[in-house]
């Protein structure tokens, strides 16, 4: 029998049809609307998170992102606020009628993240953390699965299958850039993978131009490209004062650039007969 990964490489898989997923408040991902998910890389304080959420809601966004548990390369850097950060996210999101997406780093985080958030994020470094995938598969919450930064498309989809086979089919795939030979940007946004995943998988695909580029000046043009390639949503980092951010300030858009993001990406979505919200 030919494996699914070999079928992907040979281009022999039949075209798939994206199955829209309800992520809460009746909001569907994978249909005609392209969903904006934005917020700070890390929840640093109530004031910082609220200011970001207020700007997102004013622009028309529906999903607030923010990290309470942070998988940082160096143990000497900010590791997140933990549960207090989750509580801040939930309180602020409820004030502006937003949904919450945030990351679970470990199996023991799943219950509290599921309690506080509407979407559980599994990060790039954890794409093949199988016990975490299994635990997420046993929770009745949408799961956003980021592609590992050195993972093939077939490995990414196999990781999603671990979640699906535990009973959870509300999976959002997230292309966040992969590591290549060129150090000019943090990673390389694989728009090929966005288009391919849309054709061979039923799961909606979200693009993360912030981690793909690592440079705030590249986030908007790469967001345009991702939507043109078929992305069903964007996951973008914003911050009231990126220069003072405790993590990833260099790739975070200042709140004043959020309207530009919308005005530049919306026409691309419209050209694909879609609507950015």
Query: How do the domains of the chain map onto residue ranges?
Result: 19-276
β-pairing, 28-29 vs 21-22, is antiparallel
Among the residue ranges 72-76, 88-92, 111-115, 204-208, the one predicted with the least confidence is 72-76
The fraction of the chain above a pLDDT of 70, given in percent, is: 95
pLDDT value of position 1:
39
Tell me which residue of 71, 62, 72, 102 sits closest to 86, measured CA to CA.
Answer: 102
Task: Give me the mean pLDDT over the 218-230 stretch.
Answer: 98
Q: Report the distance separating Cα 264 and Cα 247, nearest Å.
A: 26
Task: Give me the mean pLDDT over the 195-211 stretch.
Answer: 97
CATH 3.30.565.10, domain 19-276, yes or no: no
Q: Write out pLDDT tens, residues 24-57.
A: 999 999 999 999 999 999 999 999 999 999 999 9
Cβ atoms of 100 and 64 closer than 8 Å: yes
pLDDT value of position 12:
61
| Residue whose tokens read 């919200």 | 277
DSSP bridge partners of 69:
none
Q: Write out pLDDT tens, residues 32-41.
A: 999 999 999 9
Alpha helices in the chain (DSSP H): 4-10, 46-59, 83-95, 110-116, 130-137, 153-164, 191-200, 209-213, 216-228, 258-271
| Residue whose tokens read 């973008």 | 236
Q: Report the distance separating Cα 202 and Cα 10, nearest Å.
A: 19
Q: Is the pLDDT of residue 196 over 90?
A: yes
Task: Give the model's confidence band at 14: pLDDT under 50 very low, under 70 low, under 90 confident, else very high.
Answer: low
pLDDT value of position 260:
97
219-225 LR contacts (CB < 8 Å, sep 24+):
219/251, 219/253, 219/261, 220/253, 220/257, 220/260, 220/261, 220/264, 220/265, 222/189, 223/261, 223/264, 223/265, 224/264, 224/265, 224/268, 225/189, 225/191
Q: Report the distance separating Cα 156 and Cα 254, nearest Å.
A: 31
pLDDT value of position 17:
87
In a 10 Å sphere around its CB, with 0-12 CB exposed, 13-18 middle and 19+ buried, how is residue 28 labelled?
middle
């Amino acid at each position: 029998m030919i494996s699914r990964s070999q079928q992907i490489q040979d281009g022999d898989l039949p075209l798939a049809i994206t199955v829209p997923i309800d992520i809460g408040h009746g909001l569907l991902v994978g249909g005609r609307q392209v969903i904006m998910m934005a917020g700070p890389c890390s929840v640093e304080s109530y004031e910082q998170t609220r200011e970001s959420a207020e700007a997102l809601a004013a622009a028309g966004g529906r999903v607030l992102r923010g990290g309470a548990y942070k998988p940082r390369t160096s143990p000497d850097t900010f590791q997140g606020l933990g549960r207090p950060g989750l509580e801040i996210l939930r309180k602020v999101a409820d004030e502006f009628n937003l949904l919450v997406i945030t990351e679970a780093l470990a199996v023991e985080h799943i219950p509290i993240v599921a309690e506080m958030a509407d979407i559980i994020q599994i990060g790039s470094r954890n794409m093949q953390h199988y016990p975490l995938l299994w635990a997420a598969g046993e929770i009745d919450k949408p799961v956003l699965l980021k592609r590992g930064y050195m993972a093939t498309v077939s490995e990414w989809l196999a990781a999603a299958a671990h979640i699906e086979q535990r009973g959870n089919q509300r999976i959002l795939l997230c292309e966040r850039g992969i590591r290549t030979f060129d150090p000019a940007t943090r990673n390389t946004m694989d728009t090929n993978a966005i288009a391919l995943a849309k054709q061979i998988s039923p799961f909606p695909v979200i693009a993360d131009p912030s981690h793909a580029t690592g440079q705030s000046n590249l986030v908007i043009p790469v967001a345009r490209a991702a939507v043109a390639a078929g992305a069903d949503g964007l996951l973008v980092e914003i911050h009231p004062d990126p220069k003072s951010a405790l993590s990833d300030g260099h790739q975070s858009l200042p709140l004043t650039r959020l309207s530009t993001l919308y005005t530049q990406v919306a026409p691309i979505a419209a050209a694909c007969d879609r609507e950015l919200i």
